[in-house]
Structure 1
Amino acid sequence: MANMIGQVILSRRVFVTHGEESNEFKDMVVELMTSAGFFNIGDFIPSIAWLDLQGIERGMKKLHKRFDVLLTKMIEEHTASAHKRKGKPDFLDVIVANQDNSDGERLNLTNIKALLLNLFTAGTDTSSSIIEWALTEMLKNPSILKRAHDEMDQVIGRNRRLVEADIAKLPYLQAICKETMRKHPSTPLNLPRVSTEACEVNGYYIPKNTRLSVNIWAIGRDPDVWENPLDFTPERFLSGKYAKIDPRGNDFELSPFGAGRRICAGTRMGIVLVEYILGTLVHSFDWKLPNGVVELNMDEAFGLALQKAVPLSAMVSPRLSLSAYAF
């Protein structure tokens, strides 16, 4: 996931091999998502915030330094290889070329690092958790996996791998992704918002600086909104009243990326990456539970991102012609 985001932002794979560096990055992202989800006493009792009783702030500062080293290395390597790149500029090229905006303000190196940090951290752990939950639900419901395979065999066949242009022709795959985002949203409480001024909403007085957390997880499982909300049913998005619901922030029933002006900046990229990677994994392989495993653990782990408490273990085998796997 990080390498695909790296191709968009930096025109290269961030981690060439699955070595120490990639494992460290994964650990850093997991630590960030876990720490960011902690209940911090200082947030609710400001007078004792400076004590940092739980050590959360100290831990985040140490983590920040580790990320800063990694991001500095990425930017330096990108700058050093500028003369080798040809074709369209990548995301970082555009950002650097347009550092001066219409108001005369300038994006400094810290701003650029913060933007890269957001895109890499918010786009990796969240997207991979959605894919893992989707695969888990399909293994739990083999008929869903079979229908996805049948659709892909009809549209793509078994002589080549899925490409991005195929996704628009795979409505059932898209429905699986929507249903996963509904039942297992990557950020169950989204990110907190703060009211900049006092206001009134539906008769409730909201003071200035009130912190708001939207429970996306509960909305996705609300029986007043969804029929049989605890069931994993991708078909609900193929016809009927849910058919036109979209996760891009226009429908509050399904808003895994938030909504409004503060919606996730990587919404479109996140949806495409999830659909493409999940589609590739499903189309390219047969998936089965390990021998002796009868029931899957569906417990959720605590943190800003909704991870599985017990990572998915599965047996995979090729289902395409061998030539399709050649790079």
Structure 2
Amino acid sequence: MDTLSIATTFFFPLLLILFLVQLRRRAAPNLPLPPGPYGWPLIGSLPLLRPLPHAALAALAKRYGPIMYLKLGTCGFAVASSPAVARAFLHTLDIPFADRPLNAAARNVGYDGQNLVFAGYGPRWKLLRKLSSIHLLGPGAISQWAPARRSEVDRLVRSILDLSLLGEPVRVQGAVMRTLANILGLAILSRRVFDSDGAESSEFKGMVLELMRLSGLANIADFIPSIKWLDVQGIERRLKSLHKKFDALMTRMLKEHAESAGKREGRQDFMDYLLANRKTSDGGVMLSDVNIKGLIVDMFVAGTDTSSLTVEWAFAELLTNPSILQRAQREMDEVIGRERRLQESDIPKLPYLQAICKEVLRKHATTPLNLPHLATEDCEIDGYYIPKGTRLLVNIWAIGRDPDVWENPLEFKPERFLSGKDANIDVKGTDFELIPFGAGRRICAGNHLGMLFVQSILGTLIHAFDWTVPDGEEVDMDESAGLVLHKLNPVAALASPRLAPSAYV
């Protein structure tokens, strides 16, 4: 081999590699990565996250600080565990972290990120957000669908009254989740999805429940993409099967709505508005059938699971702290009386109920690590370098239990939101001590409706019934691992009516 051939084969590629490395160094700040644990090859620090990832990361933050960097599988993650660091990521660096990485659920049932929750930040996401805000989640739409909420809460109260007369316990989370699903079903599809009439309703009910369950499972392939094809846990297979069933049902619903447009009596539902905008260009993009299907999946999953779990966690705390339950009932008796039930218009006059709801979200954030964000460019934060492609987790659970942020954080104390330094803290995404719905551009689009669900349903159940734990049973605060913070042992409680009989009619 002559000298030119040797140079061509070995020397020039080496120079190219050195040049690219040097270029990378110049492009990136001369800063260290945030501190964090060293991981193992391939699996990174995944073994450190057992048994509960949010609690394990909170413990690691005590050692490494409020901003950490670690490898989970082969993916780099930054973890924010204080209000100041959360603000830096979600406010100061809002746009660079406005994207989300795709997981197995987003790839399959979420139509490969064509839904609102996982769509890339850009014109399509803005269109989906705009339509959702105007026609389902905004103040006007929320007011329009007040009758549906009242009718379904009426059904919930009557079902609990029936159980109370039989002396049977109420499975709180399941009862509330069915109510929320039916409210959303009426607003989105003009149908009660948990009704017992017809095979299609039963099918839809089963699919929603299965989607919520699979979405909460930790899929190892989301952290080690190279082994996705193995589908070690079978999650991809189950999600693909669920996607086929859901897509067939949604396609049929889209067709039925399109054929009956303008013929059905009553107000338009959310699906009608989406179909009406399907062929309209906005910001250079058009709404597709895939976007519509993915968006409806979002509404049912996000609108039922987290709100019903918040009510369940509230019941766990109230049954453990009966004096708080009694104080809330006294407030409602003074404002509402016992001749009628709570109405949504009563909520602004019930500050202690509002404080209870905030305290539940502080101590039991239903998405403890928020939904992950994705860095679309190299960033600098607090003197550390965050590479492009880093995934961000904000440990809302850790912030809510930080003694440097909250006085006696493990104590359930709604009074903290009535006076003192925490009195003006709200959940709207501007007070980073309490961001159960996230913050910045990707704050949950349904944060206002979610709070209304929790306040109105929890308030109704507190006001309408006295609650006790069945003999021989205990209420604990044990958590289960997952994207959403489920109770390990669901709450079941006995109800007894406390209002005038005419209030239950």
The TM-score, its normalising length taken from structure 2, stands at 0.60
More deviation in 44-53 or 228-237?
44-53
* Offset at residue 315 of structure 1 (A): 0.5
Change (3 A) 1:75 1:31: same
1:260 alignment partner in structure 2: 440
* Offset at residue 84 of structure 1 (A): 2.7
- The SS at the match of 2:282 is coil
1:55 alignment partner in structure 2: 234
* Offset at residue 164 of structure 1 (A): 1.0
State which of 155, 173, 183 in structure 1 corresponds to 2:335.
155
Change (3 A) 1:20 1:95: closer
Change (3 A) 1:284 1:81: farther
What's the CA shift string for 1:35-63, capped at 9, x where partnerless?
Answer: 33444333333332332222221121122
Change (3 A) 1:63 1:178: same
Task: Tell me how large the CA RMSD over aligned residues is.
Answer: 2.2
- In the alignment, the residues of structure 1 paired with residue 272 and residue 471 of structure 2 have an alpha-carbon distance, to the nearest angstrom, of 49
Change (3 A) 1:316 1:19: farther
The question of whether the paired residues in 1 share the 8 Å contact of 2:215 and 2:483 is answered with yes
The question of whether the paired residues in 1 share the 8 Å contact of 2:184 and 2:300 is answered with yes
2:411 alignment partner in structure 1: 231
Q: How does 1:104-123 map to 2 (within 5 A)?
A: 104-123=284-303
Change (3 A) 1:290 1:118: same
* Offset at residue 263 of structure 1 (A): 1.0
The question of whether the paired residues in 2 share the 8 Å contact of 1:287 and 1:315 is answered with yes
Matched, 1:319 2:503: no
Change (3 A) 1:322 1:76: farther
Amino acid at match of 1:155: V
1:285 alignment partner in structure 2: 465
Change (3 A) 1:247 1:21: farther
State which of 210, 214, 227 in structure 1 corresponds to 2:390.
210
* Offset at residue 169 of structure 1 (A): 0.9
The question of whether the paired residues in 2 share the 8 Å contact of 1:29 and 1:125 is answered with no
- In the alignment, the residues of structure 2 paired with residue 150 and residue 68 of structure 1 have an alpha-carbon distance, to the nearest angstrom, of 49
1:300 alignment partner in structure 2: 479
Change (3 A) 1:14 1:39: closer
Change (3 A) 1:20 1:159: farther
- The SS at the match of 1:84 is coil
State which of 43, 64, 69 in structure 1 corresponds to 2:222.
43
Change (3 A) 1:141 1:81: farther
Amino acid at match of 1:224: D
Change (3 A) 1:251 1:59: same
Matched, 1:91 2:270: yes
Percent identity reads 62
- In the alignment, the residues of structure 1 paired with residue 203 and residue 412 of structure 2 have an alpha-carbon distance, to the nearest angstrom, of 34
Amino acid at match of 2:314: A
Amino acid at match of 2:300: F
The question of whether the paired residues in 1 share the 8 Å contact of 2:341 and 2:460 is answered with yes
Amino acid at match of 2:426: D
What's the CA shift string for 1:104-123, capped at 9, x where partnerless?
Answer: 42211110011110010111
* Offset at residue 282 of structure 1 (A): 1.0
- In the alignment, the residues of structure 1 paired with residue 263 and residue 463 of structure 2 have an alpha-carbon distance, to the nearest angstrom, of 38
More deviation in 103-112 or 64-73?
64-73
- The SS at the match of 2:339 is coil
What's the CA shift string for 1:134-167, capped at 9, x where partnerless?
Answer: 0111011001110111111111111111111111
Q: Structure 2: which 5+ residue stretches go unaligned?
A: 1-179
More deviation in 263-272 or 64-73?
64-73
The TM-score, its normalising length taken from structure 1, stands at 0.91
The question of whether the paired residues in 2 share the 8 Å contact of 1:33 and 1:304 is answered with no
Change (3 A) 1:73 1:95: same
Q: Structure 1: which 5+ residue stretches go unaligned?
A: none
* Offset at residue 92 of structure 1 (A): 2.5
Amino acid at match of 1:42: A
Amino acid at match of 1:312: V
- The SS at the match of 2:421 is helix
2:357 alignment partner in structure 1: 177
- In the alignment, the residues of structure 2 paired with residue 5 and residue 203 of structure 1 have an alpha-carbon distance, to the nearest angstrom, of 45
- In the alignment, the residues of structure 1 paired with residue 198 and residue 330 of structure 2 have an alpha-carbon distance, to the nearest angstrom, of 36
- In the alignment, the residues of structure 2 paired with residue 195 and residue 104 of structure 1 have an alpha-carbon distance, to the nearest angstrom, of 24
* Offset at residue 131 of structure 1 (A): 0.5
- In the alignment, the residues of structure 2 paired with residue 20 and residue 310 of structure 1 have an alpha-carbon distance, to the nearest angstrom, of 31
Amino acid at match of 1:10: L
Change (3 A) 1:144 1:69: farther
- In the alignment, the residues of structure 1 paired with residue 458 and residue 251 of structure 2 have an alpha-carbon distance, to the nearest angstrom, of 31
- In the alignment, the residues of structure 1 paired with residue 190 and residue 200 of structure 2 have an alpha-carbon distance, to the nearest angstrom, of 19
The question of whether the paired residues in 2 share the 8 Å contact of 1:182 and 1:217 is answered with yes
More deviation in 95-104 or 219-228?
95-104
- In the alignment, the residues of structure 2 paired with residue 32 and residue 234 of structure 1 have an alpha-carbon distance, to the nearest angstrom, of 33
